[in-house]
Structure formats: structure tokens, C-alpha cells
Amino acid sequence: MNSIINIENRARQLSEAQAHGLLDEPQEVLLTRAAKLRDHGHGRLISYSRKVFIPLTQLCRPTSTVRG
């Protein structure tokens, strides 16, 4: 996978064939590589926006349709 995604060439886009090739990679490998790319580009910086609203009442709704 290092030939497909590397830090030095992170700005270029993957071809469709390369993107499909990623489907064969183990999830742990993809997540580790994604974390390295993130850290290289942004460091360990975590940011937030006060203008983002997440309606928690909508996210936390019970989804079960079982009725007694």
C-alpha cells in the first residue's frame, strides 16, 4: 500500500483502480496509514467550531419498533 498512499504524494488523487485496490487492505493498516497522513498534515491539533449544532435529541432516539 505504501506505493498507493504515501505522505510525500498525499496531494495527488488516486485513480479508480488504486482506490479499488485499497479494498483489499486490512482495516488496521488503512487506519494506521490514515492517522499518519492526518498527523503529518495537521499534527495532533484538535479544533472545534461554536457554530456547529448537533441535535442530540435526534441522534439519541431509540430506533426499536418492538411494541409490547
Q: What residue segments make up the domains of the chain, in order of their start? A: 1-46
Query: What number is the average pLDDT over the span 34-41?
Result: 83
- Does pTM surpass 0.85? no
Residue with cell 409490547: 68
pLDDT digits (tens, 9 = 90+) for 23-32: 889 999 989 9
Burial of residue 44 (CB within 10 Å: 0-12, 13-18, 19+) is exposed
